Chain A
Amino acid sequence: MVFSSITFLFYFFPVVIILYFSTPKKFRNLTLFLVSLIFYSWGEPTYIWIMLFSVIVDFTCGKNIDKNIKLDNMSKSKLWLILSIVINLSLLGFFKYGDFLITSINSAANVNIPLLELALPIGISFYTFQTMSYTIDVYRRKATMQKDIIAFGAYVTLFPQLIAGPIVRYKTIASELLNRKESYSMISEGIKRFIIGLGKKVLLANNIGLLWETVSKIGPSAIPLLTAWLGIIAFAFQIYFDFSGYSDMAIGLGKIFGFNFLENFNYPYMAKSITDFWRRWHISLGTWFKEYVYFPLGGNRQGLIKQARNIFVVWFLTGLWHGASWNFVIWGMYFGVLLLIEKLLISKLLIQMPKILQSAYTLILVFISWAIFAFDSFHQGIIYIKAMFNTTNGLYNSTSVYLFSTNLVLLIILTFASTDYPKTIWQKLLSSYKNSALMWRAENVYLVLILIVSVSYLVDQSYNPFLYFRF
């Protein structure tokens, strides 16, 4: 099930709210666990077993890691950790990368191994990463072992972040799992976050997604310069508002149930360098790779050559995480190269440039990356990038003008909404205006309006894609 649907908003969620808050505190994890299983099995019930299997495996591994640490038997403890990691990566490898591997082998060795043709279990990349964060942190003694399988199951399957993140590391919510206090202040904050996220997804991302869809349908080989830029800017806005909208909804839902998830986005299109961009984009994934791959490999503490290797390993994996296709790997490596260049050569130069040039530099490189990301075929991506930088198909045509003029209002709104200006302006108003009750009411009206208009888009069943089916 997805949050941005009538089924979730008016059937699933009200029932869950009533169930959850009428459950006595000590059974609330059980309620969350059960409703999360229903949430997951909606539309794809067969794969629920993989998730439950994952719950049991990592719960058992965590228990044995902890037991052996206490017995001071570190090698045995390590064995259990390795078992957990191997099982998680095997699940991910088999379901997500099986066919990719076979296709790559087939074309490289000119053989013909039949494909598995499995549907990807939704959210598998998120929950396997979460369960690994648990066993690794128990092993590192950064988290205490969870004795209650229901609480652990609730953590793994927690529906707010189950299908599109953020990747919540176990230690960040370990204490809240057993001991959380739901409160009206958190619930009201959660409501605000959820509705803003819903609006970002349904009103902003879906609407501009139509522009990208139109451009990509025309195909990269026939578009003039203006159309190419319109298309890639549309894609950039779509993926940002879709993904960060999902994260907002997840964080908001978490708050309603008393959880504080860490932020996943921080106005990435305001970044002043690629390094900065990745501190602001999909923060939970970056943190995960830093903590569980980059640092264990030695990070930046073992000389430049090893650091370069570590960066490439991390960015190869980051790319691959986004989907089982070479274009994602290239996309990841592209960022690896840029980050290394910034680190070694131009970071000092960048800081001295005017802010606007820093922004332009960052955004242009990010837009180019989206062209690689958007096309399964790297070749198509390259043709698209060429269309962005030459005029063999002309500067613009009447289609460009039509697409530009009919999306202009939306593009202005999106540009404004992707900066932190709305937030700072509102906060300034709040602090300068004494009648805070009135401001609070104004905010309520604003939220109700977003909700109503979003519902109208959902009832119309207009364009409403789920972009993370490959993650």
Chain B
Amino acid sequence: MKEKTRSLLFGFILVAASIVNIIHPIRSYSEQENKYLQKFPDLSLNTFISGKFSTDFEKYSTDQFAFRENWVSLKTFSDLTLQKKDNSRIYFGKEGYLFEVPKVIDQKQFDRNMQAINSFIENTTNFNTNIKFSALLVPNKVTVLDDYLPKHAPTLDEIALIERIADSLNGINIHSLVNLFKENSDKNIYYKTDHHWSSEGAFLAYEYYRKENNLESILKESFEIKLESEDFLGTLYRKANFYPYSADSIYSYNHKNHLTFSIKDFEGKDIEGFYDASKLIGLDKYSFFLGGDKPLLRVESSLKNDKTLLIIKDSYANSFIPFISMHYERVIIVDPRYFHRGYEQLVIDEDVNEILLLFNSENLAQQKSIFNLSN
């Protein structure tokens, strides 16, 4: 009798779960997880024989599993019960802070990147010795907020990495923000659920850069700081899978001055302002800044000082650009992940006087697209 009960119980669980899964509506993305979900894959002789169908189907079966988010949070819950402090992608830090588990620095990639940057500087200097080069290196969140890390969690020695970058590059003024940020670590420099710095962090970096370059002083008080979103869940949150979280807030800084800006993209199309409020509804709220990463942007201000700044950057720069643009007549912004044209030609064509590399230090050392600078 009890054997029959068990057999029928589990038979029922299996068949019921299977039916629920089949009739469960198919979704194209999970809003809570901020990720797109696999739909039912195409079935044909070709996709079956190549194994593509089965690979996609396996993904489909988990992505479309009924009440997926609850299952995933149960998994995170049991990880935390086991006293795990990471899920091999993310450290579960204190007070809801999430950190990326560091990857080992690939020395070959490091050398390639340094060589690409050096040759860019050298070639550019060859035809115009007056161009000023500087680099602003955004530290990893882990380096600044190490107090919030789980005890003994392995991290990358970023200070040493920055020193190595400084030693490897020639003809460029390297600014590390590590000390500045550590002194201000009581402020909300980084988001809890995302790897990026917040507007406040970007503003700190801007103030530092402005002083270093003797640019005209603009006080923080002259900005109107506006709360744009209170439910920003960043990329780390997605990788942490329903860590009992607190969402982040996104702020915009709007200067009450009389400067006007015209922003044009790669194709010359007009872009409305530095902030794109439409992105606050979607999956990727960080794209609120500059509307996300673009191959190239041209910012022209009503300030006529005949200064042109070229910023070569990663996504950290997007929240920094609204500030720095107030000091130049023209700012050209390129992202090497998407901009593949000749960089030296760009410097000539746009009559650039200053070049700023604005990257997270690890990105500068490891991002493959840095190679684009040398061609």
On A, residues with C-beta under 8 Å from B are 1, 5-7, 9-11, 13-15, 17-18, 42-46, 183-185, 187-189, 191-192, 195, 207, 210, 213-214, 217-218, 398-399, 401-402, 405-410, 437, 440, 444, 447-448, 451-453, 455-463
- 8 Å CB contact of A5 from B3, B6, B21, B58: B58
For residue B9, CB closer than 8 A to chain A, the reply is yes
A410 and B82 contacting across the interface, CB-CB below 8 Å: yes
A-B contact pairs, 26 of them (CB 8 A): A5-B61, A7-B58, A7-B61, A10-B65, A11-B18, A11-B21, A14-B15, A17-B14, A43-B55, A184-B4, A188-B7, A195-B10, A214-B88, A401-B151, A405-B152, A406-B85, A409-B82, A409-B83, A410-B84, A444-B5, A447-B10, A448-B13, A451-B13, A453-B75, A456-B74, A459-B75
Number of A-B contacts (CB under 8 A): 128
Residues on A with beta carbons closer than 8 Å to the beta carbon of B82: 207, 409-410
Bound Cα distance A457, B48 (Å): 26
For residue B171, CB closer than 8 A to chain A, the reply is no
For residue B105, CB closer than 8 A to chain A, the reply is no
For residue B51, CB closer than 8 A to chain A, the reply is yes
A-side binding surface: helix, strand, loop or mixed? helix
Residues on B with beta carbons closer than 8 Å to the beta carbon of A1: 54
A-B pairs with lowest CB-CB distance, top 6: A402-B152, A459-B71, A456-B74, A188-B6, A188-B3, A43-B54
B61 and A6 contacting across the interface, CB-CB below 8 Å: yes
Residue from A6, A195, A437, A462 with most neighbouring chain B CB atoms (10 Å): A6
B10 and A191 contacting across the interface, CB-CB below 8 Å: yes
Residues on B with beta carbons closer than 8 Å to the beta carbon of A195: 10
Bound Cα distance A188, B2 (Å): 9
B61 and A10 contacting across the interface, CB-CB below 8 Å: yes
- 8 Å CB contact of A406 from B7, B51, B150: B150
Bound Cα distance A1, B58 (Å): 10
Residues on A with beta carbons closer than 8 Å to the beta carbon of B49: 45-46
B71 and A455 contacting across the interface, CB-CB below 8 Å: yes
A13 and B71 contacting across the interface, CB-CB below 8 Å: no
B86 and A191 contacting across the interface, CB-CB below 8 Å: no
For residue B168, CB closer than 8 A to chain A, the reply is no
For residue B218, CB closer than 8 A to chain A, the reply is no
Bound Cα distance A408, B82 (Å): 9
Given A191-B7, A214-B88, A10-B48 contact (CB < 8 Å):
no
Bound Cα distance A18, B4 (Å): 16
For residue B87, CB closer than 8 A to chain A, the reply is yes
Residues on A with beta carbons closer than 8 Å to the beta carbon of B18: 10-11, 14-15
A399 and B154 contacting across the interface, CB-CB below 8 Å: yes
For residue B348, CB closer than 8 A to chain A, the reply is no
A217 and B104 contacting across the interface, CB-CB below 8 Å: yes
B-side binding surface: helix, strand, loop or mixed? helix
Interface string of B139-168 (1 = CB under 8 A from A): 000000000001111100000000000000
Bound Cα distance A17, B8 (Å): 12
For residue B72, CB closer than 8 A to chain A, the reply is yes
Residues on B with beta carbons closer than 8 Å to the beta carbon of A405: 83, 151-152
For residue B11, CB closer than 8 A to chain A, the reply is yes
Bound Cα distance A408, B152 (Å): 14
Residues on A with beta carbons closer than 8 Å to the beta carbon of B308: none
Residues on B with beta carbons closer than 8 Å to the beta carbon of A184: 3-4, 7
Bound Cα distance A43, B53 (Å): 8
Bound Cα distance A184, B10 (Å): 12
B75 and A457 contacting across the interface, CB-CB below 8 Å: yes
For residue B225, CB closer than 8 A to chain A, the reply is no
Given A214-B88, A453-B74, A6-B62 contact (CB < 8 Å):
yes
Q: What would 9 more interface pairs be, CB under 8 Å, given A191-B6, A456-B71, A461-B62?
A: A17-B11, A43-B51, A46-B49, A187-B3, A406-B83, A407-B84, A452-B74, A458-B62, A460-B71
- 8 Å CB contact of B14 from A13, A398, A447: A13
Bound Cα distance A6, B17 (Å): 11
B6 and A459 contacting across the interface, CB-CB below 8 Å: no
Bound Cα distance A56, B95 (Å): 64
- Tell me the residues in window 231-277 of chain B with beta carbons closer than 8 Å to chain A beta carbons: 241
Bound Cα distance A141, B57 (Å): 46
